[in-house]
Structure 1
């Protein structure tokens, strides 16, 4: 069967999107290739036309999802969006409740720490880029001070989102988000 030009790229993109949502929703270890391919409407054998291994898929998903997050940060800078708005958006109940479409860092960071070095290196590069973009949004301090603030803010945001998702008490979850917003904004505004 002949496919239209671009079909292979579209199929690869579809597999990436399905895997990305499943990894964020359920965790990398809990998601099998058969489940990804089934949801994508493809056979298991078709996977190897696009990826050499599940680990390659994980790296590609991380690179893609973090590149999308990076693009949002760039758009925020271009639009003059203050860091406070970025913090509030990230630490929102909407983001907390949409794990499968949310930040891959908050959803997967604990698992990434256990993956092979090439996967962790790909993750590290994208996180460094995001920290750099967040530092650009901070108004006060030298470049080094803004970078340190960005690391503290991003760490606060990711950790708070993970905690808010993990607790079973909705009121406590909301409180975690609210307090983290205030803390992250205070760090950003320190002179």
Structure 2
């Protein structure tokens, strides 16, 4: 059977999108290929037309999802969005409550640490790119100081978002986010 031009790319994109949402919502280990393919409306056999293995899919999902976040950071930089706005958006209750569509770093970082070198290398490269862009948004300090601030801010944001999702006390969760916002902004504005 012949398919229209672009069918293969559309199918691959659908698999990536479904896997990305499922991985972020439930975790990589908890998600099986059969569930991904079923939600994508495809057979299990079709998976191997697009990916060599689940690990290959994980790596591609990370690269894709982090590239999209990187594009948001580039747009923020081009549009003069202050780093404080980025911090507040990231550490919002909307982001906390939307793991399936949120930052893949916060949703998956603990699992990524246990994956093979190639997956971790892809992740590392994208995280480095994002922190570089974040450093460009910071106005205070030398290039080296802005880089260190960006790493501290990103680490604070990711950790706070993870912790706010893990606790079962909404008030404490909100406090974690609010305090992390204050701390990250203080880091950004420190001389």
TM-score range, shorter chain: over 0.9
After superposition, give the CA deviation of every residue in 1:80-126 in whole Å (9 maximum; x if it has no partner). Answer: 00000000000000000000000000000000000000000000000
Pairing of 1:1-191 with structure 2 (within 5 A): 1-191=1-191
- Runs of 5+ consecutive residues of structure 1 not aligned to the other structure: none
Query: Take 1:121 and 1:46, find their aligned partners in 2: how far apart are those partners?
Result: 27
- How many residues are aligned here? 191
Q: Cα offset for 1:2?
A: 1.6
- After superposition, the C-alpha distances for 1:33-57 in whole angstroms (9 at most, x for unaligned) are 0000000000000000000000000
2-side partners of 1:165 and 1:79: how far apart?
30
Residues 55-84 of structure 1, C-alpha deviations (whole Å, 9 max, x = no match): 000000000000000000000000000000
What are the ranges of 5 or more consecutive residues in structure 2 without an aligned counterpart? none
Q: Tell me the secondary structure at the aligned position of residue 140 of structure 2.
A: coil
Counterpart Cα distance in 2 of 1:125 and 1:84:
24
1:132-152 superposed Cα distances (whole Å, 9 cap, x missing partner): 000000000000000000000
Superposition misfits of 4+ residues, deviation over 3 angstroms: none
With structure 2 as the length reference, what TM-score do the two structures score?
1.00
Q: Secondary structure at the match of 2:184?
A: helix
Over aligned residues, Cα RMSD in angstroms? Answer: 0.3
TM-score (norm 1): 1.00
